Structure 1
Amino acid sequence: MSIEMNWSYLYGKPQINALFKTEVEDFIVTENLGFEATGEGEHVFIRLQKRNENTQFVAKQIAKIAGLPAKMVTYAGLKDRRGLTEQTFSVHIPGLVTPDFSELNSDLVQILSITRHNRKLKTGALAGNAFTIRLRDVSDMAGLTERLEQVKQGVPNYFGEQRFGFNGGNITAAKAMFNGRKVKDRFKKGMYLSAARSYLFNKVVSQRIEQGLAFTVLPGDCCGLVGSRSYFITEAEDTSLAERLAQQNIKLTGPLWGKGELAANLEAQDFELAALAGEEELKQGLEANGLKQERRALFILPEGLSYHAEGNDMVVSFYLESGCYATSVLRELVEVQENHANFSE
């Protein structure tokens, strides 16, 4: 049984069609760690570019060359296999001798730099990612241009469909796990927990849009300061918040479910609880597994969004902060049809 995931569109469902990922170069991702390696320390940072290659597979190859367990190789985040991606891996190698990683170089992987750092690269330890996306055979270029101007104002910060698995299979697996099914694989368990949490968050975002509250500050909303990790709770009589939201000085947030009290209160708390009515199984399962209440921006701004037409293709570039999905931008622009004919398996 598939899981319902018909999330609301902020600007209405697009009626424009385009092909995506026909060629490897149609999806280019450049990871931005947000800091420079120190040049010394026990951790070797390997910056590389990979074509149509899996992040975990590359990590295993690095571990093999270093003669270490795969768990000793870390990276800030998984990157899509189908595309041209640039990212950094780290491996813990004390001492002065750095292994020769040159055998990593191939038609699919190219080492860009190797340096040392005093700390390992942890999951999530990145500032964001820059994307360049080519949409081919666009059915309505004028319509796409109009929508591109719209999304400059922001898009829903949905977790991407890849997090949920085929037909929401990771949600089904999470429910089975919460009902007693043993999951010994730590990676799979983490994946199911993340999927359940992300699903609840997406429901709150979708309901916010459906009820016409995407650009409305509710009394009791937990708002974040743009460019900061600080949050504050709104009060009913504060009329200046609507202008601050329109000027993108503050951002609305929603719950990443876990133990503890919701940060939102008053009308905002009522809204969030109503949006997640009927999801006690997932909420209780997340709490039982030790996750704690956190917050995430409901909407995101694709920074530096630019675009240009090349014949019937549109090339779009933008930057997203860590944890945000390019697919959340794409789904507001076009109905994409992925064509992997030129990708080797």
Structure 2
Amino acid sequence: MVWSDIGVRGFLFGPIATAGKQVISKCCDFIVSEKINVEKGMRHPLYLVVKERTDTFHALHALRKAMKCREISYCGLKDKYSLSIQHVVPIDCKQSPDHFYLDNVVAKKIGYVDRPLKLGENTHNDFFVRISMENIHELGRFMEKASKKLVFPNFVGYQRFGLRRPYTHELGLAYFKYLLGERDELTGLLSKKDGWWEMQLLRKGYIDESIKLLLIHSVQSYYFNECLSELLLDERLHAREIQSGVLIGYDFRNRKHPGWVNKEHVDCIEDRLSKDDWLLQALEKLGIRTRYRVLLGVAEILIYKRLEETMVIGFRLNPGFYGTVFLRELVGDKGSVFQDCEPCLKTTANLLPAGEGKGSF
């Protein structure tokens, strides 16, 4: 994947130390841990899920199939090439064992709640990344002098788009055309993918509501990224300004945007819509209204420590901010996209109680 393919170009203060290749090798070199605050209940089981080399949608699909659930709610997407820890709440399952072990996914029941989780409901995400690169000393000098809170461009990360073409925003645009009666482009793109939901849409013309939202949000995110990049490249964005950009909806042209919305980002979106006017028709058909997303994010530095030719950096982000995007600002385009990583979950022994294992509930 190339960052510019998803509209990401330009930097705010970086890159600090440009990496010539990806900066992690093992999945546990990039750990993301989701923190939530939900009231205890009795109606639905709450699971803690640990996964690696698997994106959130495929992990949820595997769990739903194994537990025979109607659906599984969650707070947000987590990186595929990482060791990620997140919470899920299965709904209407025929079985809900205390432990589950699937390929690259481990789940443990930790309690019960009375309602499903909502997207963005987590309080924050903590990241711990071990970076390995030749010029690590440059990054070390920067971290020694840096503030405890670093501002960075709030691009939507590649987790929203996927790592290989066709990306989800390309599928999303083709899906919009499908809704307007042009079906050939979507069929052609889907034939190049072999994932479960792509096959579901290709064969049955149906997709889950969560996948439909993914396609919609990826289109909105692509236009958001494109215009944020334009502001950065033209040096029209400043770290002290807390403003938002536009996630387009059908009412984009008919509403008065608040004063805290960056006017130049709005103008950029308008310029692109003048070439893709049909987008608003599709968004109206789907009932998608305009939303806003802050243009700059803040990473709270928790820890940084030099270990020979590597460095461990711990940082905290609010929901909706991407750890890979912050990492890109530090080490550049090539070092922050992970094409693969060596697995760390060799067995269930380090995650499940003694005596528990695959197929044992």
TM-score (norm 1): 0.75
Q: Quick check: 1:23 aligned with 2:26?
A: yes
Q: CA deviation at 1:202?
A: 1.3
Q: Which residue of 1 aligns with 2:113?
A: 117
Match of 1:139 among 116, 122, 135: 135
- Structure 1 residue 13, shift from structure 2 partner: 4.4
Distance 2:107 2:330 in 1: 34
- Establish whether residue 292 from structure 1 lines up as the match of residue 289 from structure 2: yes
Change beyond 3 A, Cα 1:145–1:329: farther
> How far apart, CA to CA, are the structure 1 residues paired with 2:50 and 2:122?
17
Given the alignment, which residue of 138, 142, 151 partners 1:154? 151
Structure 1 stretches of 5 or more lacking a match? 217-244
- Equivalent positions of 1:324-343 (< 5 A) are 324-335=321-332, 336=335, 338=338, 340=340, 342-343=342-343
Give 1:170's match in structure 2, choosing from 168, 171, 195: 168
What is the distance in 1 between the residues matched to 2:81 and 2:11?
A: 25
State whether residues 44 and 98 of structure 1, in contact with CA within 8 Å, keep that contact through their aligned partners in structure 2.
Answer: no
Q: Please state whether the residue corresponding to 1:315 is helix, strand or coil.
A: strand
Alignment of 1:1-345 (within 5 A): 3=5, 5-17=7-19, 19-33=22-36, 35-38=37-40, 40-69=41-70, 71=71, 73-93=72-92, 99-102=96-99, 104-105=100-101, 108-143=104-139, 145-146=141-142, 149=146, 152-165=149-162, 166=164, 169-179=167-177, 180-182=181-183, 184-186=206-208, 187-215=210-238, 245=240, 251-260=242-251, 261-264=255-258, 268-269=262-263, 272-274=266-268, 276-280=270-274, 281=276, 283-284=279-280, 285-335=282-332, 336=335, 338=338, 340=340, 342-343=342-343
Which residue number corresponds to residue 219 of structure 1? none
Query: C-alpha separation between the residues in 2 aligned to 1:339 and 1:92?
Result: 33
Q: Cα gap change, 1:134/1:266 in structure 2, threshold over 3 Å: closer, same or farther?
A: closer
Where 1:153 maps in the other structure, the secondary structure is strand
Paired amino acid for 1:26: D
Deviations 1:127-170 (A, max 9, x none): 22110011113424224532782794300000012323435633
The change in CA–CA distance for 1:113 and 1:142 in structure 2 (over 3 A counts) is: same
Question: Given the superposition, is the C-alpha separation of residues 119 and 198 from structure 1 closer, same or farther in structure 2, using an over 3 Å criterion?
Answer: same
**Structure 1 residues 43 and 332: alpha-carbon distance in aligned structure 2, compared to 1, 3 A threshold:** same
Shift in alpha-carbon separation, 1:86–1:164, aligned structure 2, 3 A: closer
Deviations 1:101-120 (A, max 9, x none): 33x14784444542111111
Relative to 1, partners in 2 of residues 1:122 and 1:267: Cα closer, same or farther, differing over 3 Å? closer
Deviation at 1:85, TM superposition (A): 1.5
RMSD between superposed Cα atoms in Å? 3.3
Cα distance between partner residues in 2 of 1:54 and 1:6: 21
Tell me, yes or no, if the aligned pair for 1:21 and 1:339 is still in contact at 8 Å.
no
How far off is 1:288 after superposition?
Answer: 4.0
- 8 Å Cα contact 2:306/2:312 also seen in 1: yes
The structure-2 alpha-carbon separation of the partners of 1:170 and 1:93, relative to structure 1 and needing over 3 Å to count, comes to: closer
**Aligned 8 A contact 1:29 1:131 in 2:** yes
Q: Decide whether aligned partners of structure 1 residues 196 and 147 sit closer, same or farther in structure 2, where only a CA change above 3 A counts.
A: farther
- Offset of 1:200 from its aligned partner? 1.4
AA aligned to 1:132 is F
Normalised to the residue count of structure 2, the TM-score between the two structures is: 0.72
User: Following TM superposition, by how much is the alpha carbon of 1:93 offset from its aligned partner in structure 2, in angstroms?
Assistant: 5.0
Instruction: Note if contact 1:65-1:99 (Cα within 8 Å) is conserved in structure 2.
Output: no
| Cα distance change on mapping 1:275 and 1:8 into 2, 3 Å | farther
In structure 2, the residue corresponding to 1:154 is in which secondary structure? strand
Deviation at 1:61, TM superposition (A): 4.5
Partners in 2 of 1:101 and 1:136 — Cα distance?
37
Q: Deviations over 1:275-297 (max 9, x none)?
A: 54133427524344321111111
Identity across matched positions, percent: 23
